[in-house]
């Protein structure tokens, strides 16, 4: 298995909206996190398939993706440098 298959956060290439796969904390599951990019309604920006996310809560998987964007891609989740 390559390094990208083992990464805790992976961007699905070419996905619209931007879609990420995020491993659960114990590594047994993988959740889908989508960035809808709705700056006018920050609460609606993110969607996660985990139990908390499907109830509309901002979960740790969304925070992992936001940290990934900021650290790896060199920009803030809102797209600013």
> In the chain, what are the domain boundaries?
3-72
Report field, pTM of the whole predicted structure over 0.85: no
**What does the pLDDT look like over 6-59, one tens digit per residue?**
678 888 888 888 899 999 988 899 999 998 876 555 556 889 999 999 998 889
pLDDT at residue 49 in the model: 96
Residue 23 and residue 29 in contact, taking contact as beta carbons nearer than 8 Å: yes
**Long-range pairs of 68-73 with CB within 8 A, sequence gap ≥ 24:** 68/9, 68/20
Q: Are strands 46-48 and 18-23 parallel, antiparallel or unpaired?
A: unpaired
């Amino acid at each position: 298995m390559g390094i990208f298959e083992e990464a805790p956060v992976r961007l699905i290439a070419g996905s619209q909206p931007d879609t990420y796969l995020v491993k659960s904390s114990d590594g047994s599951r993988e959740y889908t996190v989508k960035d809808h990019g709705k700056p006018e309604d920050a609460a609606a920006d993110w969607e996660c398939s985990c139990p908390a996310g499907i109830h509309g809560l901002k979960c740790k998987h969304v925070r992992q993706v936001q940290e990934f964007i900021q650290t790896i891609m060199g920009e803030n989740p809102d797209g600013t440098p």
